Chains A and B, each alone.
Chain A
Amino acid sequence: MKIFKKYATEFPTPYTCMNAIREGGLETKLTMVLMGLGNFVHKQKIKGLLFLAIEVAYIVFMAVVGIGCLSQLGSLGSVPQQEVWDEAQQVYLYTKGDQSILILLYGIAVILLTVFMVCAWRCSLKSAYKAECLEKSGKHVNTFLEDLKTLTHENLHRLLMTPPMIFIFAFTVLPLIFMICMAFTNYSIIDNHLMLFDWVGLDNFVALFDSSSILGSTFWSVLGWTLVWAFFATFTNYIFGMILSILINRKDTKAKGFWRFCFVLSCAVPMFVSLLIMRTMLQPDGAVNVLLRNLGLIAQDASLPFFTDPTWARVTVIVVNIWVGVPYTLLQLTGVLQNIPAELYEAAKVDGANPIQTFFKITLPYMLYVTTPYLIVTFTGNVNNFNVIYLLSGGDPVTNLSSTAGSTDLLVTWLYKLTVDKQYYNVGAVIGIFTFIILAVGALFTYHRSKSYKEEGGF
């Protein structure tokens, strides 16, 4: 509530809904029931009619389909698909049963529409009150054309923000709410709940936390590996990229541009291509093993188990991630590294510090201080790092056949497997929510510490 008050005081306007209800005239008060009436009375005929049209459209929509969708939302449908023997045609006919997934989707869509309707209703109330006030005080009331014209000036944000907002609501917010709802249902292939499912409350969360079940133990091990992975992936890249950047940008290094080009070349190749290449190179008969055999480092029929041994696989993905990630780190950190005051290094040199001491006593502390937000962003990015794991190892090797995750699966790749391959939609949704919680904690941490938060105040 406090936040809303802050916004209200930032943009003061006398034309609020409360004022409209308290001080508006009869026509404004009637607008609450008949949207657009206030505008219609006060010279804004087209605007009034538009509001009215919205209201009529909404009521018709609700009467025809909306109410039906909402009423089923509680039970999520109960009529199963049935086979009926058709005597006349001598075939089995399938009656159309309820499809819970569509009921849920339409229900949420109707709720979202209703929220928009409430916004439109508030708009109409405010605009009616504004028209009334303006006319009473003898000021000019905008015609519809003039209103349209304000869209290119005072209200430009409405013109420019509306289409992106519609897309965001349709393709990001609606699906997200939908997925969150799924976490509270039994929508999964278990007990054949793919067509019809019910609300089950917090059962899925309980099942996931129960470490004695297969699902629960898998969850904890995947969560553990996700955190280990995110930690190593972040810091190996960070430190390695920093050392590389220092090596390249030393005063005495020749051909700086050439070295930089060599490293940046690998991030110019699309990531999924380079990862697929790495995957094929590291197969038991892939290029790396062939090269090692030809060089005589391993026996002719031997191969290093890059993706077949759990520990090897985990180390491999971290190492390959260094290969993929260091060029990016190089690009991002070079500028920051060059901002470190040169006096610090000179002082260290005078005191007789060697390069390793300088790195650990000056460079690293300075960088950690300046780039904490960057590090946390990278950390959360790595928790969500679907591409590297999925394209590289695919979560393999699977050591425990009864569990659904392999040894290198992260929460996100496990989520993908559970939903796309295994059709455990509900468990997938719960994992998604957990990933969000982990990331949200990290992000809160970042934005509250970052300079942009203190300066903007809005993040």
Chain B
Amino acid sequence: MSVKKEYSAKRKRFINNTIVHVILAILAIIWVFPIFWVILTSFRAEKGSYVSTFFPQSYTLDNYIRLFTDTSILNFPQMFMNTLFVAICSCILSSFYVLAVSYCLSRLRFKMRKPYMNMAMILGLFPGFMSMIAVYFILKALGLTEGNLIRLALILCYSGSAGLGFQIAKGFFDTIPLAVDEAALIDGCSRWQIFSKITLPLSKPIIIYTVLTAFMAPWVDFIFARVICRANADQYTVAIGLWRMLEKEYIDSWYTSFAAGAVLISIPIAILFLSLQKYYVDGLSGAVKG
């Protein structure tokens, strides 16, 4: 009797396991399917936006080659360099801001500390691009919306509110024992030395996280870039370029190249994201664990 019962329990478990695995497999296919499809499309030889078959009839590398050689209408290499330049500059500036502000809020006690944190919270509640038009007018008043200065405008724009995104880095600094700071103070270190010689070397993960999130922002933002660049096609970033490839006048000839471009910029970002997943999770779950 007990053997039979055990047998049926085992069988039930087997059925359950099979069901779970089948469900997971179906879901995984649904989730990977669009990515798979865009990779397929990027190698598709047939032109045109929509084709009547799901799998391409023949495969080619032309879409990738065209992206880098056909620069007459949509200059992808130029956009790539623009974005790279803006990304590097804004990354340096905003990482410094984020780390400096987080360190101050975590370690130093001063009168403006709590008002500052409250202000950051309130400012964070406004829809970010509500002020976009106003930012454009300010940049225009400063004369930064013409020619190459647009790049400077974009850099200012992306690092402008960096000082408000301190929560994750502050949470990390909070976990470094205060005793380390106190020991250094007794040894005669100044606060600046503690920051640059002790805290920063101890916080490599969060520095990597901050630098990379700041670096990625210009690659994926297209709202601000579009408002600031307007018609200056030579200053476009990759995001606007990809968006334009899907506009009515370009979609027919550029569709497969859009897929190629999407794959190209996704690869580095995907690698970064997958390797930094842990920090991302740690940074976010800090707030939940409380």
Contacts and interface: CB of A to CB of B under 8 A. Distances in A.
Q: Please classify how large the interface on chain A is, using the bins under 10, 10 to 19, 20 to 34, 35 or more.
A: 35 or more
Contact of B269 (A164, A270, A420, A435): A270
Contact of A269 (B13, B54, B192, B266): B266
Interface string A251-280: 011100001011111111111111011111
A157 interface: yes
Interface string B187-202: 0001111010000000
A182 B242 CA distance: 33
Interface in A275-292: 276-281, 283, 285-287, 290-291
B266 A253 contact: no
A50 to B, nearest CB: 21
Interface string B219-233: 110110001000000
Given A7-B115, A164-B162, A436-B125, A105 B137 contact: yes
Contacts of B195: 156, 160
Nearest to B266: A269
Contacts, number: 277
A331 interface: yes
Nearest to B40: A287
B81 interface: no
Contacts of A287: 37, 54
B130 A415 contact: yes
A351 to B, nearest CB: 17
B134 interface: yes
Interface string A310-352: 0000000000000100010001101110010000000000000
B23 interface: yes
A264 B277 contact: yes
Contacts of A265: 31-32, 35, 270, 274
Contact of B285 (A336, A386, A429): A336
A68 to B, nearest CB: 15
B54 A291 contact: yes
B125 A440 contact: yes
Contacts of B13: 252
Interface in A388-431: 412, 415-416, 419-420, 425, 428-429
Interface string B94-137: 00010011011000111111111110011101111111111101
Contacts of B109: 11
B243 interface: yes
B34 A274 contact: yes
B163 A244 contact: no
Q: Is the interface of A mostly helix, strand, loop or mixed?
A: helix
A81 interface: no
Nearest to A164: B163
Nearest to B164: A168
6 contacts: A152-B191, A156-B192, A172-B160, A174-B134, A179-B134, A248-B24
Interface of A: 7, 10-11, 101-102, 105-106, 152-154, 156-157, 159-161, 163-165, 167-168, 170-176, 178-179, 182, 244, 247-248, 250, 252-254, 259, 261-274, 276-281, 283, 285-287, 290-291, 293-294, 323, 327, 331-332, 334-336, 339, 370-371, 373-374, 377, 380, 384, 386, 412, 415-416, 419-420, 425, 428-429, 432, 435-436, 439-440, 443, 447, 450-452, 455, 458-459
Interface of B: 13, 16-17, 20-21, 23-24, 27-28, 30-32, 34-35, 37-38, 49-54, 97, 100-101, 103-104, 108-118, 121-123, 125-135, 137-138, 141, 156-157, 159-164, 190-193, 195, 216, 219-220, 222-223, 227, 239, 242-243, 246, 255, 258-259, 262, 265-266, 269-270, 273-274, 277, 280-281, 284-285, 287-290
Given A280-B255, A294-B53, A432-B126, 10 more contacts: A161-B100, A161-B101, A161-B163, A174-B134, A264-B277, A271-B220, A272-B243, A374-B288, A419-B132, A435-B130
